[in-house]
Every structure is written in C-alpha cells, then in structure tokens.
A and B are shown apart, each in its own frame.
Chain A
Amino acid sequence: MTSTPTLAIGVLRSPRTPRPGIVVLASVLVLGAFALAAVFAPFLAPYDPHAVDFSAIYASPTLAHPLGTDGLGRDTLSRMIYGARTALIAPLIVVFASTVLGILLGLVAGWRGGWLDAALGRLFDLVFAFPALLLAIMAVALFGKGLVAPVIAMIIAYVPYVARLTRSLVAAERSRPYVSAYRVQGFGGAWIALRRVLPNVTPVVGAQSTLNFGYVLAELAALSFLGLGVQPPTADWGAMINESQAGLLGGHFLPAIVPAVAVVIVVVAVNIIGEALSDRIGGGMPA
C-alpha cells in the first residue's frame, strides 16, 4: 500500500538560493587566479625563480620585489607563482586518479555485493589504517625522493575514501525501483551499472573528491617541507617554507609566510567550492 503524498514538502522548506553565494564566487576567482598563474608563470613572474641575486638578500617588499626576496636573493613572488605549478598539478593528479579508481572499485563492490564487496571492504580498511602522509613517506623511503612516488602513494591512500562513498551510494541506488524497471525492460546488469547508475552517483562523489584536493595539497606541501617531496632548487610552496627556516630565526618572515598563506588560501578556497558543490548536488539527488 502506498500513501498519497498529501503535503508538498518543498513548500515547508525555505527556498534554496538559486545563485552561489559571494564567498563561493570569490573562492572560484581565487582558485582561477592561481591556476592561471601556474599556467602562465613564465609570462607573469617578474623574475626567473632560480635567479640568485646576492645584492638583494632578504630584501623587504619594494616595487622591484613586491613580496621581497629570500636568503639567496630570489624573488619570492616569482617563486610563489612558479610554485603554484607543483602545488596544483600534483593534487590534481592525485584527486583525478583516486576518484577514477575509487569510483570503479566502489561500483564493483556496491553493485556485485557478496564476497567481492566484503574483500574490497577489508582491503580499504587496511589502507585506511595508514595515514596518507605515512604512506607517502614510506614510498619515498622505497623509491627515493621526488614527486612521483608520493603522488602514487597518495593516490592509493585516497582511493578508499572515494570507493567507500561510491559503494554506499551504488548499493542504495541498486535497490531503487528504477533499476528494477531497467531490469524488467531487459537491460543487462553491466549496462545498468555503467551507463545509468554510475552517472547518477558520479556528481556526488565528484563533489566529495573536490574536498580531497585541499587535504592532498596540504599533505604534499608538508612532504616537500620535510625535504622528501619536491627538491630544491625547484620552486614549491612546501620546499620554500623549508628553505626559509634559517631566515625565520633571523627575523625574515616574508619568504616563509608567502607560500604558507598561498597554501592556506588555496585549501580554503577548494574546500568552500567542494562544500558548495556537495550541497548543490546532494540536494538535487532523488529523494
């Protein structure tokens, strides 16, 4: 027996704002600016990020060096602009790869269920037991310094987050009558899973994955700060903070603060966008 819907629930809910808020808009602009800076770094940066200038060591902000210089006289603004490249591209790779892998594994686990679901579930639990950063450090210990090994380790570490969310969404979707309707029409299981259920869960998972970007960025910066990720003299935000430690003791804060603030701004912006996406898409899913 079913109940006739007697009350328009939508009516009782306060109407949703049709346009994204000013904060979300600002976050998109900030992130866009950083992305453009990374892409067009050679045209935007006033100096070569590696150009050493012993005449201007720890220079204060001037017109020539808007954000000052570091202990080797390198222009901090230029290094920050170039640093945006590794800071943005590495998390992007991690988020993209972990989302693709996670969605596929989650789809298999949620759709097939049974022993496969149980086995994958235990595997994910195992990976969950290791913090992502620890996994990355272990990868560096095994395969040497650089960005490749930590990125792969981070991909592995983030797959379970995506896979678990996908699995629960797919499992819920699988029991919905529209899936039964497809079956009755004669569509095969693989077709339903890949062509119909997958696109229905992808927006939600994608929005959640956006939130991972911020964590990955911060963790990779931490790795570079520890001297295990991007190696000097390459400009990278984490590495820049690491290199400016000596300056901090001497009272030269700017070379450390600039990359640190850049990390914070990007992470916050990405999280705001990710949450806005989740809210929007989560609300649009079928009840």
Chain B
Amino acid sequence: MNVLEIDALAIALPDGRRLLHGISLSVAAGETVALVGESGSGKSLTARAVLGLLPDRAETTGSVRVQGREVLGAGGKELLGIRRHDAAMIFQDPRASINPMRTIGDHLTESLRFCEGWDRGRARERAIELLAAVRLPSPEDRFRQYPFELSGGMLQRVMIAGALTSSPELLVCDEPTTALDVTTQAEIITLLTELRASRGMGMLFITHDLNLAASMCDRVYVMRAGAVEEQGTARQVLTAPRAEYTRRLVAATPTLTSAGPAPARSGPAVSADEPPTPMLSVRGLSKTYHRSGKSPVAAVVAASLEIPRGGTLAVVGESGSGKSTLARMIVGLEQADEGDIVVDGTNRTAVPRTRDERLAHARSVQMVFQDPYLSLDPRIPAGRAIEDALRLHRRMTATDAAARARDLLEVVGLDAGHAHARPRTLSGGQRQRVAIARALAIEPDVLVLDEATSALDVSVQAQVLEVVARIRGERGLTVLMISHDLAVVRRVCDHTVVMRRGEIVERGETGPMLDDPQHPYTRLLIDSVPHPVMS
C-alpha cells in the first residue's frame, strides 16, 4: 500500500477559478517523490492538501488518501489523527513557522505532552533524542534556547525534529531548503535522505529546483498551472524530458557542469600600448558594524577588486559573507570605514554633498535590487518610474521622457502598454525588467546586480539574464553581479571572487575556478550544489 495516493485531485475557488486540474500521484513507503514546478504551478497547494490544509471554501473533487485513509472531506477528528500520526510537514521558512516566543523545547514537547499525554520528563527525553537525531550539536542546551538564538539551518533541523515527534509514515517537505545557504542546504538534504532511509518514511518533496529534485528523489512529477506535465524517474525527466515544458525548464536551469552559452565578451577594444584602466576599482574596502552591547561585526574586510571596462565580475558567497554590504558600499548606500572606490577614474568613496555630486555618483553606478516586489515604488507606474529617473538626470520634456521610457521598456523586452502598469499588476520577472530599465535610464558606467534573479523562477531568471547579456553586448556595460548561485554566475560572468565572512578567499576566471577550485571553501560551495545522480 502506498503511504500517499492522490487521485484526480481538483481544487476550485468559490469564484470559479480552478487551481488544480486533476492531480494524480503516489508515494510508496521509503520512496522520495519530488513535485517540481515554478511559482503558481500549484505544487504547494497540492502538498498542503495532503494534510487537509485547503483554501477557504474551496471545492474539491478526487481523493487524497494517506495510509489508505481519505483526507478530503474528513472530519476534524479524523484529520487530527492523520496529522498526528500519519503525515507531517516541513515548511519553507523555519523562522516564520516556529513560534518565536517559545523555546525549542516547548516546540518539540508540546505535541507529545498535549496530544499523546506524555509527562514532561518523558517528552523531554524524546525531544532531546530527536534533536540528536537531526544532529544538532549539544541538544540539551538547544532545548532551552529560543528560535532567535539559532541560525536558519539549525532551525530547519528543529522543524524536522518537530515533524518526527509523531513518527510519521509520510513527510511532506515544502521547499525545506529554499531559504537556506547552499552548504546548509546540502547538510539538510543529507539529513533528510538518511532519516528517510532509517525510518522507511515516504517523502513528498516540493521544490522549484530541478537539479535538487533530481539529485535526491526517486521519481519526479513536473507541475505547471495546476496540472502534472510530466512524471517519471529523476534520470529520465532530467535527461530525456518528454513534455515541451519540461524541456524548456531543463534548458533554463543553469548547471555548474555545462557552461551554457559563453558569457558575451564585448566592450570597446583597449589599444595594446596603453594599460587598460579598470572601470571599477575597489581597494582595501572595509566595513565594521558596531552593535551596542555586542561584539562588532566585520562585514567586509579589506576587499579589493577590479573590473575592466565592459567586463563582468561576480561576487559569490553565502548569507553573512558581506557581499551585499560590499555592493551597498559601491552604490553609496553604506559608508565604508576604510578603502577607496574608484569608478572610471573618479573617486566615489565619499558621501556626495551637493546635488551635482549626487547625480554624478548615480551616473557612475546603478543597482538592480534583489527583490523586485519591494524595490519598485508601489504607487508609481512602470513608465513614470523610468521617466522620473530620466528627467532627474537630463533636461527633457515630458513627452521626450515618455518616449524614451517606452524605448527603454522595449529594450528590456516589455512593451509600451506596460508603461501605465503599477508594479503590483506585473509579474516578478516583469518587475525586474522595469528595475533594469530604470537603472539603464541613468546610463550608468557600472551596473550592480544584487541577487537580481534569485527571487525569480528559473525560466524567468533565464530571460532576465538574457536581457542583461544582450544589453551588455549592445552597450558595453560593466557589470558587478552579487550572487549565491554558482550556476548563474558561471553562465554570466567572466571573473569571480568568492567571499566568506567578509574576506575574499579566492578570485579568478569563472570557468577555471569552478572546474579547479583552490580554496577549500570554494570547493565546499561547489560540492554543495546539488548534482543530479546519473546512475
């Protein structure tokens, strides 16, 4: 008997919108099944339906059976039984899913004490056992700590331990590693794989990352717009996709091994007899944050880098490596403690004092921010945002600015109709294109992309990266790219520096560095990227 059997599950909202169109899938005991799809594909909805978490007043048809018991239409008591004993779920963001006001111990023992009626001592013993099982160091100490004292990776382990308290037959993991660093992700995946093997659980693994799914799962279901596009073994889906959509998804997914299209090398040729002056040069840049009552944090320590005119450089690192602080110092959002930032021969380290200095600084560096949902003013239509930037830097009439804004929207692959659209009516990819157009309006010397594609779906990410590559080719733009994603970096940048805890640990040409990393940390980063197992 399969632990999970979903048969022709369809979910519709009262207003007639159909969210799922007949999903069928199964998970056998001891098997890991991936549900892969982009945002809006309905994969999370499917996962939540397994535990009876449905949208308000949703109409469902079909069936969802956990251990042979029907979930859809089950009464409160039955549903409780399934959630307590048969199936458990791990959510995407551990920090948002654990009560911040209770200790880790409370989180783990409350279900044992109140649902199973265990006494305090026995529950505590079991909780510490589980914390040890998810390999948290010194579980007794963790037991008394609050969520804010733990890192994201540790919290995700706590959440896994919490899911295991009921010894479930089925573990539903909804993007359990998406909010984590790549090295932490690798650890969590190893842990989940071991736990599944030792407990013989069935696992339904929801992810947007095709490589991750292929690297750890037996079978893969690819979802799109509420329907299953394709299913099969991990190997078959990844290497010989049958559906057109899967083929595109596989092509759009950047990998470490295949370089994909080589980064476009362009820019005006520098004559051989004069030494090339770098477009962006950062020398000995340092920044330390002083927090009251705590030890100061060195965010960036003596960072130096250079990008030639028209070149691309990636700064790679995990969260807390200081890569974002570095970017914010370069664009002038943070003040460096020490060091120099020189753009096209002009020192841009100091805070601009006058309006002219401020504008000159803006024309030297522009930035595209990480989250397009937050970096656009919610009230300002896309076209207006670009016109504002244009008219700030150049004297032009409103009509000229509007025409130029439309041109820029076309450059980034949008059309004039989007000029009147407010950000909330645009998709993530469209918003990021607007943000790029807005940066281009100022015609900067250097464009900084701060994790500019990490909030986007892979297919959208591929399109946005293509836009960036095309603009680079046309305008000889110098690009500094901040990223945690080595595969994306490989696709886009000629040179890469690796940062760790504020220090640059390795630098060099992207391809050779990724093929033959010198620093152990670089090697760890590369090894942590999920590789599909081709056995």
Contact = CB atoms under 8 A, between A and B. Distances in A.
A15 B359 CA distance: 45
Interface string B433-470: 00100110010000000010011110000000000000
Interface in B33-69: 39-40, 43-45, 48, 55-57
Contacts of A181: 367, 369, 375-377, 435, 438
Nearest to A12: B55
A171 to B, nearest CB: 16
A188 B358 contact: yes
A2 B378 contact: no
A286 to B, nearest CB: 4
B484 A1 contact: yes
A144 B107 CA distance: 64
Interface string A176-206: 1110111111111000000010011000000
A114 interface: no
Given A1-B180, A3-B178, A6-B208, A185 B56 contact: no
A8 interface: yes
Contacts of A19: none
B92 interface: yes
Nearest to B362: A186
Interface residues of B, number: 64
A200 B378 contact: yes
Contacts of B442: 185-186
B39 A5 contact: yes
Given A185-B438, A186-B362, A4 B175 contact: yes
Contacts of A1: 179-181, 318-319, 451, 454, 484
Interface in A1-33: 1-8, 11-15
A186 B19 CA distance: 43
A57 to B, nearest CB: 60
A11 B19 CA distance: 9
B210 interface: no
A164 B241 CA distance: 58
A14 B56 CA distance: 6
B259 interface: no
A6 B362 contact: no
A185 B374 contact: no
A196 B377 contact: yes
A86 B377 CA distance: 41
Contact of A184 (B206, B332, B374, B388): B332
B407 interface: no
Nearest to A195: B388
Contact of B92 (A6, A188, A285): A6
A178 B377 contact: yes
Given A2-B455, A6-B44, A187 B181 contact: no
Given A12-B56, A185-B438, A185-B442, A200 B371 contact: no
Interface string A118-130: 0000000000000
A191 to B, nearest CB: 9
Contacts of B43: 6
Contact of B206 (A5, A6, A187, A200): A6
B333 A286 contact: no
Contacts of B178: 3-4, 6
Given A4-B39, A14-B56, A186 B392 contact: yes
Nearest to A191: B392
Contacts of B523: none
A4 B454 CA distance: 8
B366 A184 contact: yes
B15 A15 contact: yes
Contacts of A287: 373
B93 interface: yes
Contact of B13 (A11, A177, A178): A11
A1 B181 CA distance: 7
Given A6-B43, A199-B379, A186 B484 contact: no
Contact of A186 (B44, B363, B455): B363
Which of B318, B333, B456 neighbours the largest number of chain A CB atoms within 10 Å of its CB? Answer: B333
A184 B377 contact: no
A178 B374 contact: yes
A188 B174 contact: no
Contacts of A176: 374
B39 A6 contact: yes
B404 interface: no
Contacts of B361: 186
B395 interface: no
A177 B369 contact: yes
A154 B443 CA distance: 52
Interface string B349-377: 00000010011011101110111011111
- 3 closest A-B pairs by beta carbon, nearest first, are A186-B362, A286-B378, A7-B44
Given A2-B451, A5-B455, 11 more contacts: A3-B92, A4-B456, A5-B39, A6-B92, A11-B55, A14-B56, A180-B375, A184-B333, A186-B392, A187-B388, A188-B358
Interface of A: 1-8, 11-15, 176-178, 180-188, 196, 199-200, 285-287
21 contacts: A1-B180, A2-B454, A4-B178, A5-B39, A5-B428, A6-B174, A6-B208, A11-B19, A178-B377, A183-B332, A184-B331, A184-B365, A184-B367, A185-B388, A185-B442, A186-B358, A186-B359, A186-B392, A187-B392, A286-B374, A286-B378
